[in-house]
Amino acid sequence: MGARSCCWPLGEPGEAGFRFCGADALAPKPYCAEHAAIAYVKARDRREDAA
Ligand SMILES: [Zn+2]
**pLDDT digits 0-9 by tens, 4-47:** 899 999 999 899 999 999 999 998 899 999 999 998 876 666 66
Q: How far is the CA of 29 from the centre of ligand 1 (A)?
A: 11
Check: CB of residue 24 under 8 Å from CB of residue 3: yes
Distance from residue 7's CA to the centre of ligand 1 (Å): 7
Angle at 30 between CA 29 and CA 34, to 5 degrees: 80
pLDDT of residue 1 exceeding 50, the answer is: no
How remote is the CA of residue 19 from the centroid of ligand 1, in Å?
Answer: 11
Q: How far is the CA of 3 from the centre of ligand 1 (A)?
A: 13
C-alpha to C-alpha distance for 21 and 41, rounded to whole angstroms: 18
Ligand 1 mean position, distance from CA 36 (Å): 7
